[in-house]
Structure 1
Amino acid sequence: MIVLRSLLFAIVLAIVTPPYAIFGMLTFPLPPHMRHRIITSWAPLVMWFVRHLLGIRYRVLGSDNIPSGPAVILSKHQSAWETMALQVIFPPLCFVLKRELLKVPFFGWGLAQIPGIAIDRAAGKDALTQVVEQGRARLAEGFWVVVFPEGTRVAPGTTRRYKPGGAWLAQKAGVPVVPVAHNAGEFWRRNAFLKYPGEITVSIGPALGPEGLDANEVNARAQLWIEAEMHRLFPHHYAAGAKRGDQPDSGVVAAERRGSGES
């Protein structure tokens, strides 16, 4: 049944995505918010099939933590699911993405018409400048910005170094950071054809204001909250690591020490 559901979902995507992409390319003369509204209507449509065809539901904790104005979302990244779901959960937003994605047939062509932040990851430090410059423009237009600070999709129960680009953008733009934890990878694995039914939990943390904090401190606090929330909500993903004696990420440890006044 899981194989059949996953196959049918792949067929649905193959049928739905190209017309949306072609229509999206035709919206280029329209204002940014109108283009965004039209093209991203693809997300709730696909999420309907995710729920009713794949059997993947979700619940949101901490929705009252969503600020009234634009912010930078620092989210855990485990699968393609959150790239669709965050568009439904939050106000109009855009993603920091690899410029190469815009060359992907149909999907990338339509994506190119959505106000976003496309960066050249090979540019090194210049990539951070691209994030800040384009990100400030998107935030000024009223869009939220999603950054996956680990830089790539990670398996449940694991973590990578949190890069400070999102926190740096928030500080430069004078907007808060909103941390997000979830377990999408438990049901929708990275690059996996099979998707498993179940309920994904998305937890939204308290906004971290940029006042009085540098970007590294904001980034460390966001990481501390996200990783602690992952351990709290999904302890079964970390039980094996605890038995092996694995140590918490050094960035989390440093943030915990700062929070407790340790040097």
Structure 2
Amino acid sequence: MSKRNSQDAKRAARERLRVEREQQAKKDKRRRQLGVAGAVVAILAIAGGIGYAVTQMGSDWDKASDGELVVPEHASGENGTTVLIGDESAEKTLHVYEDMRCPACAAFEQSAGATLKEHVADGKYQVSYTMATFIDDVASGEGSKNALSALGAALDVSEDAFMEYKYALYSAENHPQESLDEFAKDDYLLDVAQEVDALKDNADFERNVEEGTFDRWALEMSEKFDDNKDGVTGTPSFVMDGEKLEVPNMPAPSPEQFTQAVEAALEK
């Protein structure tokens, strides 16, 4: 073979190799595009399924937003969303923000919740509660709203019943994991209520829980949290005279740590 023929053969071989590589690159690109498209379709299908499920779960609460607003006894303010408890002669008020499904709120209540109740009983300050329901959106479900509605039923009985029932729901024995929506079940809420003397076998309370008497009120309370003027976006949060309390070792301060933080705020 002449030198020229040998060079032509090499050029032809290189050209064939170039063409083959380009063809393979195009195949690989199409394969990647198909893979991404398939993943997007799968994600959209899953999202659509989740969206449908959430829509289904939220349908009763959509109806509640248009339902009659029944304000619990012992509530006050616009739409009954002010829950103020304690000695009216107390000079200051501690504003507490919580969500019933919130694990950090449960940790606080289990460590220093009893101390807060003692402070209020001793007249150190009044306590005002604003309850959120954002975990229902974040983790999906309706337990925050349902438990808040049940708290409304407890408040309708008495302020003490509200405090004791909230404390029982947050207890280590009764508070479910955030991913579980046990508070969405009326039976679960009623079982816990048996631990509160004022609610045990209380027919009016049970009927209000089962019929969702205070569902609309729970939604109004949730909106109050969303629009709060203290700039609170998470729970638990504590505000006195417009200033957020800096409590050590949150979300589970010792009784002494919580007391020190509160006393420092009271002295200002």
**Given the two structures, how large is their TM-score scaled by the length of structure 2?**
0.24
Higher helix fraction: Structure 1 or Structure 2?
A: 2
